[in-house]
Amino acid sequence: SCCMLSPSTLQFLFKDVKYLQLQVESFTISNGPVPCQFEFISKPNEDAYCKPWLIAKPSKGFLMPDSEVVIALELCVNKSTATALNSGEEKLEDILVLHLDRGKDYFLSVSGNYLPSCFGCPIQTLCYMKEPIREMLPEAIRELTLMPLLTDDAFWEEKPLDVPKELWMMVDLLCRSACHQEGLFQQPGLRPEFEQIRDWLDTGTLDVLGPVASNHSVAEALLLFLESLPEPVVCYKSYRSSLECANSYEMSSQVISMLPKCHQNVFHYLVAFLRELLKHTGKNHLDVNVLASIFGGLLLRPPPGHTQPGTAEKQKAQQFIQQFLCHEGGTL
C-alpha cells in the first residue's frame, strides 16, 4: 500500500572501478495509492548519507500515487578519494539508508573493488615503484603510500627513480609528438583517450610507443596527474614561502632546494620540459604567461583548510613558476 522497493535491489556491486571512470547502478522505487516522500538519510555520527565517492540521484524526492522513480547510484573515484583507496586504508564499501515516509527504512549495501592507479599516488611512492602499479601487491602499495616523506633516500635500501616513470612516459610522449602543437594544455582532451592513457600508465601493457591519443589528451592527462598528487610538487609547507619570494629567483631556487629530493627532481624536470616547449613558440604559439599560470596553480597548491587562493595569490604562484621558465642560464 505504501512506497516500496523490490528487494532484489538492495545490494549493488561495482566491479573493477578505475580512476575518474564513472560507474552507475540503478533501482526503482514504486509507490502505492498514497503520496510519499523519500530521502537518503545519514547514519548516526556521519555527516553525509554516503561516502564521498558515491552519490544518489535523486537523493530525495516526492512520489505521486502509483508512480515510480528510478534512482541512480553513481560511483566515481577522484583526486580527493583515490589516495586512501590506493593504499587500502579505505575500501569501496558503504551502507545507504533510504527512508520512506510512512514506510520502512531500507538498507542498501554498496561494495566494489578499486583498481589502484598512479593517479592519487604521492611522488615519492611512485619513485619507489619500479613496475606498473597494477602489477604490485596491495601490501607493497600500502607500505609505499604510507611511507613518511623523506628528505633523503637513506631509509630504503633501494635507490628510487629520479622522477616517476609515469610522468616520464607522458612527458616523453609530448616531447616526441607535441612540441609544435598549438593550444597545448589549453584544449580539453577526449575522455576515452584519457582512459586509455591512464590504463597505459597503470598497466604498462600498451606497446612502447604509448596510446593512440591526441596531444591534447596526453597534455590533459599530465595536468590531471599533477592535480591528483596528494602532496603537490612544491610541498604544502613551502607554499607560503614560495609566494613570499616570488619576485626573487635566488630565493625561489632556495625554496626548491629545500624540497624532498623526489619533489625537487620533478620540479626541475617539468621546468626543463616547459622550457623546451617554449623554444618552439614560432610553431606552437605557447605563451609563457599562460603556461606559468596553468602550472603555477598545479605545482603550488594551498594546504588543505586554506581559503581558496584569490587573484593576487594566483598571480604570485604564476610569477614563481615564470621566473624558472624565463631565467637565463639554462636549466638549474
Predicted confidence at residue 51, as pLDDT, reads 98
Pairwise CA distance, residues 124 & 250, whole Å? 26
Between CA 51 and CA 83, with CA 121 as vertex, the angle to 5 degrees is 15
Q: What is the pLDDT of residue 1?
A: 54
Q: Are 91 and 112 in contact (CB under 8 A)?
A: no
Amino acid residing at 297: G
- What pLDDT is recorded for position 102? 77
Q: Cell numbers for 241, please give them.
A: 614561502
Q: Cα 173–222–190 angle (5° rounding)?
A: 85
pLDDT of residue 151: 63
pLDDT of residue 153: 55
The answer to whether 90 and 81 are in contact (CB under 8 A) is yes
The CA–CA distances, whole Å, from 312 to 270, 296, 305 equal 24, 13, 19
DSSP-assigned beta bridge partners for residue 12 = 110
pLDDT at residue number 282: 95
Question: In this predicted structure, what is the pLDDT of residue 156?
Answer: 63
Query: What does each of the 332 residues of the chain score in pLDDT, given as a tens digit?
Result: 567 766 567 999 999 999 999 999 999 988 889 899 999 999 999 999 999 999 999 999 999 999 999 999 999 999 999 999 999 999 999 999 999 887 789 999 999 999 999 999 999 999 999 999 999 999 999 999 999 887 665 556 788 999 999 999 999 999 999 999 999 999 999 999 999 999 999 998 655 556 678 999 999 999 999 999 999 999 999 999 999 999 999 999 999 999 999 999 999 999 999 999 999 999 999 999 999 999 999 999 999 999 999 999 999 999 999 999 998 764 44
Nearest CA-CA partner of 20 in 103, 70, 72, 82: 82
| Residue 71 β-bridge partners | 27
Q: Grid coordinates 602543437 are at which residue?
A: 181
> What stretches of 9-92 show up as alpha helix (H) in DSSP?
82-87
Burial class of residue 214 (count of CB atoms within 10 Å of its CB; 0-12, 13-18, 19+): middle
User: Is there a cis peptide before residue 58, judged by omega within 30 degrees of 0?
Assistant: yes
Give the dihedral of Cα atoms 199, 201, 206, 211; nearest 10 deg: 80
Whether 84 and 90 have beta carbons less than 8 Å apart is answered as: yes
Please choose, from the candidates 9, 228, 216, 195, the residue with its C-alpha nearest in 3D space to the C-alpha of residue 98: 9
Q: Which residue has the cell 603510500?
A: 145
Task: Count, in order, helices (H) and strands (E) of the chain.
Answer: 12, 9
| Residue count (the chain) | 332
Contacts of 172 (CB under 8 A, 6+ apart): none
| Nine cell digits for residue 246 | 616570488
